[in-house]
Structures are given as structure tokens and as C-alpha cells.
């Protein structure tokens, strides 16, 4: 560009001679993108610090190989739940506590839901030694917080353990439910970053989430008929509600309405869960 604005030197504004008269849209867009990236980086840093403040390291002793190791766990009462998905997935402001629900031995590969980690018969231990520990090559060390990939890997390991030790159907179903939640959280994270080539990965993850929801439903249907309540941690009303919700999520609208009805017309159900069941019924009827 020529020096169109020359002649201002005598006013002390000699440096202005070469400025652009109009804003350059490409430059504006670049600046906007840089601002967004900086904001996203700040948000990620804050999220990391919030999450770190919510977890503590706890020492565990493996029931299979006696190895002592540190595991991450969520501090009690630290995170506040802000909402819940229709299938009861909790959402917290500071942390996704679902990531920390499994304890896994880094040496022998024994893994289970935290509540079940110390519950193991000698027969189950023998099965895990033979079918998992004998092949296991070690768990990669995680950073200061778990990523969704860390959490998904640990939950899948716990699910394989539950199958090998012939764990209860409800335990396996619950792990499938947690895996559906984690996979959902992973694609939501990808979507929120707005990565341009994420669409394919998101599609793949959505299909994986659906597979875990279908398996969770299959397991809870069976456990509902064969096991005593609670089904892992779910009392009868919650399990009934969850089966309604899972049916809705996998597209079985008639079944969703049927299971929601079991709560709506149950005199013993609380108003809170009845309201949630009515919401499922409305969603299944396409009213919302």
C-alpha cells in the first residue's frame, strides 16, 4: 500500500502513515480465533485445577498380588451436583466423578468398582490370576487427573474382570452404564472443543455409547428378574426408573412407557421419582 496518509509527520503522527484504513476481515477472524483459543485454554486450566482440588490419593492393597499402590478418589462432599441426565448420569461443576469409580491394580490387572474392590472369593481370585494376570502387561501411569481415555480403559478392565470372575449381572450392567456415561462425556468434550475433524470420532463414540446402553439395559432387565434388590447400588424404584430411561435412550418407546408406568402408578414411589417417570413418559410420547 502506498503511503496514503503521509503528511501527518508534523503533527507527531508519522507512524500512522501506513495504517490500514479499513479493518481486514481475515485479520479480524484470526484475532477472534486466537481470543477463543486463549479463553478455551484458560477454561481448561481452571477445570484441571478444580478437578485436582477434588481428588485425593488413597493407598490400596491388591487382593490378588498384594501389591500396594495409590489410587485416585473423589473427596467426599467436595463436588456439587448441578444436574442429571435422563439415565441418572450425574453432572458436577468441578469434576466428573464418574471417572474415578474404579480401582485397578497396575501390576496384575485386577480391577473392580471401588465398592467391590475388596469383595473377592478365593475362586474368583484364581480365575482372575489365570485369565487376566497371566497375560496382563501393566497399566500405564496416569497424570494428576484421569482423562476420559484413562477412565474408559480402567472401566473396561473392570468389566472384563467382572465377566471373568462371574460377577453379578447387576455389577456388569452397572459397569456398562458407567462406560456409556464416560463415552458420552468424551464426545461432549470433543464437541465443546470444536475441533474441525472431530465429527467422525464423535459419530463413532455415539455408536459405542449406544452399544453400552443396550448392554446395560440387557443386564438390568435380567438382574431385575433374578437378583434381590439393591441391584448393585440401585433400589427397586431407581432400578425400575433406570430401565424405563434406558429403553427410551435405545429407542424402545413402548417399553419405556410401560416401565415408567410401573413407577407412576406405584403408591410407594416418592413424588420425586414419579415426576422423573412422567418426564420419561412424555419424552416417549414425543410431547417434549
Residues binding Zn ion (CB under 5 A): 62, 64-65, 67, 105, 107-108, 110
List Cβ neighbours of 139 (8 Å cut-off, separation of 6 or more): 104, 105, 106, 109, 153, 154, 157
Minimum distance, C-beta of residue 128 to Zn ion, in the bound complex (Å)? 9
List Cβ neighbours of 219 (8 Å cut-off, separation of 6 or more): 169, 170, 172, 173, 174, 176
Of 111 and 176, the one with the shorter C-beta distance to Zn ion is 111
Of 66 and 144, the one with the shorter C-beta distance to Zn ion is 66
Instruction: Name the helix (H) or strand (E) containing 16.
Output: none
Of 106 and 261, the one with the shorter C-beta distance to Zn ion is 106
Minimum distance, C-beta of residue 33 to Zn ion, in the bound complex (Å)? 47
Minimum distance, C-beta of residue 110 to Zn ion, in the bound complex (Å)? 5
Greatest CA separation for the chain: 94
Long-range contacts, stretch 185-190, CB < 8 angstroms, 24+ apart = 185/96, 185/98, 185/99, 185/148, 186/148, 186/149, 186/152, 189/148
Q: In the 3-class helix/strand/coil scheme, how is 44-105 assigned residue by residue?
A: HHHHHHHHHHHEEEEEEECCCCCCEEEEEEECCCCCCEEEECCCCCEEECCCCHHHHCEEEC
Of 63 and 215, the one with the shorter C-beta distance to Zn ion is 63
Minimum distance, C-beta of residue 97 to Zn ion, in the bound complex (Å)? 24
Of 61 and 226, the one with the shorter C-beta distance to Zn ion is 61
Q: How far, in Å, CA of 139 to CA of 157, rounded?
A: 10
Of 62 and 244, the one with the shorter C-beta distance to Zn ion is 62
Decide: 125 and 112 in contact? Cβ < 8 Å.
no
Amino acid at each position: 500500500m502506498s503511503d496514503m496518509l503521509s503528511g501527518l509527520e508534523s503533527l507527531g503522527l508519522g507512524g500512522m502513515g501506513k495504517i490500514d484504513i479499513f479493518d481486514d476481515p481475515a485479520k479480524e477472524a484470526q484475532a477472534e480465533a486466537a481470543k477463543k483459543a486463549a479463553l478455551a485454554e484458560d477454561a481448561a486450566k481452571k477445570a484441571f485445577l478444580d478437578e485436582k482440588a477434588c481428588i485425593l490419593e488413597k493407598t490400596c492393597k491388591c487382593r490378588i498380588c498384594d501389591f500396594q499402590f495409590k489410587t485416585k478418589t473423589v473427596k467426599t462432599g467436595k463436588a456439587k451436583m448441578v444436574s442429571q441426565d435422563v439415565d441418572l448420569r450425574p453432572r458436577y461443576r468441578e469434576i466428573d466423578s464418574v471417572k474415578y469409580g474404579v480401582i485397578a491394580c497396575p501390576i496384575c490387572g485386577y480391577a473392580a468398582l471401588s465398592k467391590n474392590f475388596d469383595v473377592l472369593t478365593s475362586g474368583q481370585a484364581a480365575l482372575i490370576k489365570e485369565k487376566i494376570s497371566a497375560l496382563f502387561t501393566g497399566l500405564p501411569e496416569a497424570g494428576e487427573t484421569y482423562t476420559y481415555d484413562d477412565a474408559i480403559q480402567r472401566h473396561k478392565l473392570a468389566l472384563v474382570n467382572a465377566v471373568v470372575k462371574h460377577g453379578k449381572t447387576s455389577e456388569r450392567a452397572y459397569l456398562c452404564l458407567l462406560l456409556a456415561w464416560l463415552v458420552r462425556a468424551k464426545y461432549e468434550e470433543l464437541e465443546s472443543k470444536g475441533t474441525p475433524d472431530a465429527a467422525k470420532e464423535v459419530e463413532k463414540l455415539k455408536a459405542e455409547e449406544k452399544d453400552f446402553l443396550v448392554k446395560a439395559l440387557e443386564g438390568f432387565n435380567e438382574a431385575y428378574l433374578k437378583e434381590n434388590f439393591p441391584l448393585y447400588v440401585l433400589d427397586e424404584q431407581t432400578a425400575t426408573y433406570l430401565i424405563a430411561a434406558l429403553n427410551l435412550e435405545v429407542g424402545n418407546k413402548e417399553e419405556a412407557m410401560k416401565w415408567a408406568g410401573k413407577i407412576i402408578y406405584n403408591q410407594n414411589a416418592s413424588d420425586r421419582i414419579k415426576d422423573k417417570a412422567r418426564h420419561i413418559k412424555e419424552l416417549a410420547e414425543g410431547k417434549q
